[in-house]
Amino acid sequence: MNRSRNRFLYTLILAVVVVLGLMSRHLSAHLPHAINLMLGDAIWASMIFVMLAIVLKKTSTARVALASLLFCYAIEITQLYHAPWIDTLRATRIGGLILGFGFLWSDLVAYAVGVATAAIVEKISIKLNKKNSIKHTMITLPIYQVDAFTSKVFRGNSACVVMLKDWLPNNTLLSIAKENGVAETAFFTRKGDGFHLRWFTPDIEMDLCGHATLATAHVIFNHMGYDGQHIHFKSASGDLSVGREGDLLVLDFPHRKPFPAHLPIEIAESLNIQPKEVLLARDYVLVYETQEEIESLAPNRRLIDRINLDPGGIVVTAPGKEADFVSRFFTPQATIFEDPVTGSAHCSLVPYWCERLGKKQLYAQQLSQRSGELFCTDMGDRVLIKGNAITYLEGTIRVDESELA
């Protein structure tokens, strides 16, 4: 038994059992002999079980039953002993009820029946209470899985999107993200005319995530009946907005221009190809000369995991063959090492490549196994990132409220 008994409730039950015991004596003339032979002693044994259950409030049902049975048998065996003082006690009404009047083998059977009956009733009540508590403590949350920065399922970057009425504890949000097992899970609530948005990897809460924001906007536009042209989010990275432009969704994100930096030894030693330029904003930006170098990069996971860059990572980039630039994104010590498509990294990539190529609008490709494409515009202090999204699945999360503490 993993719960504590309610002593007030068990005291009421004890009173009922005592009343039943007294009534059994008055009803004996109307009951069959076989029942009369055992009924009073069985009720007495049940009373002992309830009394011990009150005292041993956290003890298992089985142990209370064993203690009750041993106590009853001990009392019965004492009835083999006769002396003037104890026989005088037995001659009284209360003494007779407690100590009995004489040893009978049938009483031993009656005690076993009484204790077993009480134990079975308690076990059944515990199971019923557990079932009822499960029914009343399960909450349901709608969930969508969306492939972002692609128009086809199984491509782009997959994100889960969970709509909440109120915020759940952080550890619950992280547990849901771990259970989902995708690169990012976005959680959002309604906030006035807009929404409040947060992002979790299976390991940490992020300050910004592009593909999960795109996925969230896709859900709001396509599954919530939102008929506006722009969605406004409050987030850890400030105010964000997502608009519609034909079939594309347009992210309005902060501008994070990277600046020259020194490459940490943990990163340098893990790379099979060294970069030509090293920059840093939230993420390290490693610039290479060709797309082939980006495709051939194979960071040594054992060596690169010596450094923790939370909430950032490492983006490698080079001029593309079909795109203005290409990239890949790696996160040391993360459950998902290579991110399929990283919208937030383009807050730094777009300013760099716009300045280098002398143009404001860029077409980008991320060269992960799933691949993805982004249409980007440098707005000076903001970056516009356009992409498609498609729903892969929709369903329901069931969470026990006991997990929300």
Would you please indicate which residues are annotated as catalytic (active-site) residues?
A: 184
Length of the chain: 405
247 φ, ψ (degrees, to nearest 5): -85, -5
d(C-alpha 262, C-alpha 248), whole Å: 37
Q: How many CB atoms lie within 10 A of CB 235?
A: 18
DSSP secondary structure string, 256-310? ---EE-PPPHHHHTT-SS--SEEEESSSEEEE-S-HHHHHH----HHHHTT---T
DSSP state letters, 189-234: EEETTEEEEEEE-SS-EES--HHHHHHHHHHHHHHS----SEEEEE
- Element spanning 250, H or E: strand 248-254
Amino acid (one-letter) located at 399: V
Q: In this structure, what are the phi and psi dihedrals at residue 8, rounded to the nearest 5 degrees?
A: -65, -45
- The answer to whether residues 356 and 316 touch, using CB atoms and an 8 Å cutoff, is no
Provide the phi-psi class of 366: left if phi over 0, else alpha when psi is between -120 and 50, else beta: beta
Structure-token pair, residue 141: 């949350």
